[in-house]
Structures are given as structure tokens and as C-alpha cells.
Chains A and B, each alone.
Chain A
């Protein structure tokens, strides 16, 4: 059983000459029950009581004690508040839950989504994947609003026979068309001829990254010739939707 304590509650017990103090308190707690029922949905059912600290509402009936606001909070005796606002600090007991399906907002000051999960990255050379096999490959993502952060691990057992520029496909979300150039943070080995750590950019409109590297004067696409059969690269990349 869980308890909800309501402070302060002022009751003028027996002051009207018609109700005893006990009856008056019971009636006031009954009214409070009605108010709470209007404000919240409660798992289980409620009944009222008083303990040494003041009035309480025990939640019984096999409930877990969770009280959640079912959508908009209702003002006392008034219409629902579609967008409750807080002028001070909003204290959260450790968790903020977003819906499984995003409720998108066009307001740049609104955080409207959080999600984490996995995806399966794939290496290709100009789209070709003939003979490419892996010792291991894995991807994880965290999406915060329209920002997606991915971490990718690719460990080849064969680079296959396809030729061309290296891309990594399989990102969890489609990239947008601007501001998607980034630097790979991570490590690589069993690759040949590189004059800088690999870089990645997302061209936009698809779920792929284009790999490249820098020279002293320019940059070059990272093509199949720079890979070995046991190439490994682990990195993280952040892009926007």
C-alpha cells in the first residue's frame, strides 16, 4: 500500500454547529478525494484517513501506488490545463518518459523525443558488398530530439571483391541534407596508406556515411584499396535529422 500525503489541509472542525468534528473531517477528506480523482488517475482505489502527520490518502486494491497525470492536468474546479507551466524547478524522481512514438514539436525550445537502441552497420564499396564478411559488427544509437549519436564497430573477416568508395550503411535514421560532415572519433587498425584518421560525412537523404581521409593538401575518399581483409574500425558519429 502506498500513501499520498496532502499538506497543508485546514479544517475548522465542528465550527458550524451542525457536524461533529469527526464528521467534518471525514467530509473534508471526501471532498479532497474528489479533487485528487479529478487531477490524477490512480492505480487501485483510494480511501482516506489520518495519521500522525495529518491527512493521508492510502492507495489500496492491489495497486502499485503509482499516480500519474493522464494527459493534461485539471485545474481545481476548472478546465483542463493543456500546457501546465512551472516557474520554478521541476523535480523529477529520476526518470522522464517520452512516448514510444514521437510527439513532434516545431518549437526549437521543446525537447520532444528520446530513444536508444541498436542497428546493424554494413560496409560497402560504391554500393557493392560482394564477399564482405565480418568477425563482428554492431551499432548503437541515442536519439535526443533531432540529434542522433551513433557508435559503430566493424571488424572485417574479408573485405570481399567489390571496388569503389567506402560507405557505411544501416544508420538508424535518415540523415538530413545539411550540416552532416563530421569527424570520426575512435580507432582503426589493419588499414593501409592512410595519411590521417578516417573521417565520415553524411550526404543527406539516406542512412549512409561516406568515409574519407585527409592528405597534406586535400582529402580523398577512403576506397577499397585502403582496407585489408581484417580491417577494424570503431567510431562514433553525430548527425541531425
Chain B
């Protein structure tokens, strides 16, 4: 039997609060993984969290304090 599994495979928080998210899609046949692919996106401090995974939202809400958001915006503006 073929099954498709879509999960958040990796959540990385970078120094300035950016969050790199990897979504893993696996095709499983009779319990054996026969295919795997990755899709990635990045969230920067203060980005919209609409449609994000609950774990990503929880991490963003914990990391993106007003101080982190201010520091990130200041960093971007100096570049």
C-alpha cells in the first residue's frame, strides 16, 4: 500500500531570528520509504505566520521577541 507523508523535517533558528523550515515529503510502500523530497522556505522576524505549521508558529512566537525583531530590522537596514 502506498502512503504519502508530509512532515516538517527540520526547523532551524539562525542568529538573527530567521527560521529555515524544511518540509519532507515521503512516499512509503508497505512500510518501506521508496521516495523522499524536500521543500524549503524561510521566515524572517515579523513575517506572517499564516498557514505555517503549529510547531513553526510556536517557535516563532518564542523567538521573535520585540527585541529580536528590532535587531533584525536594524541589521537588514544596514546592508
A residues touching B (Cβ–Cβ < 8 Å)?
A: 100-101, 115-120, 141, 170-174, 177, 203-207
Contacts and interface: CB of A to CB of B under 8 A. Distances in A.
Q: Is the interface of A mostly helix, strand, loop or mixed?
A: loop
A119 B79 contact: no
Given A204-B79, A205-B76, A173 B40 contact: yes
Contacts of A177: 79
A117 B35 CA distance: 13
A86 to B, nearest CB: 29
Given A174-B14, A205-B75, A207-B41, 7 more contacts: A118-B37, A119-B39, A170-B41, A171-B42, A173-B40, A174-B18, A205-B44
9 closest cross-chain pairs (CB), A and B: A117-B38, A172-B40, A207-B42, A203-B79, A174-B18, A118-B39, A119-B40, A204-B79, A205-B76
A203 B40 contact: no
B8 interface: no
Interface majority SS (helix, strand, loop, mixed), chain B? strand
Contacts, number: 55
Interface of B: 9-10, 14, 16, 18, 20, 22, 24, 37-42, 44, 72, 75-76, 79
A206 B38 contact: no
